[in-house]
Amino acid sequence: MIFVHGGPHWLYEDHYMPDVQAYVDAGFLVAMPNYRGSTGYGRAWRDALSGAPGSADVDDVTAGLRDVLRRPDVDASRAVIAGWSWGGYVTLMELGRNPGLWRAGMAGVPVGDYVRAYHEEAPGLQAMDRALFGGSPEDVPDLYARANPITYVDAVAAPVLFVIGENDSRCPLGQALAYVERIDAAGKPHEVYRYTTGHGSLDNDEEVRQIRTILDFLQREVPGLTSV
C-alpha cells in the first residue's frame, strides 16, 4: 500500500498511526512518501507544486511505488493506493493516470472534480487553490483540467472505495459525488461510505467503523490478506 498524506503542505513523521498498523496487520507493506509539496524539506520542495498541482506529487508517489516494487517481499499485482484529503485526490489521479499499476484504491474525503470543488469549498481553500494554480478555474482552465481527477475517470480500472463526509467544507460533498456519478455511469467498480460530519469525523467509534469498512473492502478486492 502506498498511503498518501493530505495537505499537500504536510508530512509524515515517525509516530504511531493506528490505521497504518491495521493495514500492516492485514498483510500490507505500507509505504508513506513525502512527495514534492510536503513540508519539512525546505521551501523549494514545499513550493514545487505551485503552478503544477497534480504533477510532481503524483509522479513522486508513482516513483515511490516503483521503488517499493524492487523489494522481494512485494507483489506488484496487489498494489493499493490510498489516502485522505489531498491524499484522496492523489489516489484518484493515480487511478486515472496510471491505471495499470493498482489493484484497488481508497479515496478518503477526496477532491474528485477540482473545478466544482473550487466553487463549493471554503474561501480560505479557494485562496490556496489560486496560489497553487496561479488563478481560478476561469483564469487557467487548461491547468485545472489537467490537474482534475474527473478528467481521467474513464481510464480508471481498479475498484475504488470512497469515504466521504456529508458536511465537508474542505473537500465538499457535491464535487466528490460528481466524480462518483461519473465513475458509476462508466460502469467502473466502486463503493461509497458516507458519514455525517465533515472533513474528519473526530469520533473514535466512527473512525473505527471507517477503518473496518476500508479493511473489508480491501479483503474483498486484494487476495491473500489477513482478516483483522
**Residue of 85, 113, 129, 190 marked active site:** 85
Residue 226 DSSP symbol: P
Fill in the DSSP letter of residue 99: G
Catalytic, 50? Answer no
Burial class (CB in 10 A: 0-12, 13-18, 19+), 179: buried
Cα of 181 vs its chain's centroid, Å? 18
Reply yes or no on whether 168 is catalytic. Answer: yes
Other beta carbons within 10 Å of 70: 7
State the catalytic residue, choosing from 9, 59, 119, 199: 199
DSSP string, 7-56: SSS----SS--HHHHHHHHTT---B----TT-SSS-HHHHGGGTT-TTTH
DSSP at 1: -
Pick the catalytic residue: 38, 168, 190, 201?
168
Is residue 199 flagged as an active site residue? Answer: yes
Give the end-to-end CA distance of the chain in Å, rounded to a whole number: 16
State the catalytic residues: 85, 168, 199
